[in-house]
Amino acid sequence: MKTPGPKSNRQSSRKAPAARRRGTPGPSGGESNLRPTSGSGPAPSRVPIIFVVDDDPGLLILIESVLSAENWKVAYVSSGAEALAWLQTNSADLLLLDLKLSDIEGREFVRALADGGRSVPFIVITGQGDERVAVEMMQRGALDYL
């Protein structure tokens, strides 16, 4: 997957790309105290990467815009398959995961990550609330359910 250039080089189309990344991920490991680069206090040695997986192109663009404006590094893809492939060669400090992807459910995605020996802190995002699913995802390690 290609890494785009600066924002000004982006296509004017509002379709979500297969993958976007701002910056280069650093080594994974240890706990991250996720902070953007602006604000008070010492800056972290690298800016943590937030990886967004959602099949809604408009929501991907919105999340990327908001987080980038706050100086976070953001990578995103629009399918579970792309996300699993991206995570094989990249590291993320936090995953924002849509529960209902077009190619895989969030529960299956989390299971596939665990089966592959990968562990990424994640927050489930969904437009469809279901208390049973929220409880299940929290039991599977979700930091939150939005």
Question: Each residue of 81-100: pLDDT tens digit?
Answer: 999 999 999 999 999 999 99
Decide if 67 is inside a domain.
yes
Q: Are 44 and 71 in contact (CB under 8 A)?
A: no
Q: Tokens in use for 30?
A: 């240890």
The domain that holds 91 is classified in CATH as 3.40.50.2300
Residue with tokens 């994974």: 28
The β-bridge partners of 105 are: 100
Q: Are 51 and 96 in contact (CB under 8 A)?
A: yes
Residue 29 pLDDT exceeds 80 = no
State how many domains the chain has.
Answer: 1
Decide if 39 is inside a domain.
no
Full domain range(s) for residue 134: 46-145
Report yes or no on whether pTM surpasses 0.75.
no
Decide if 30 is inside a domain.
no
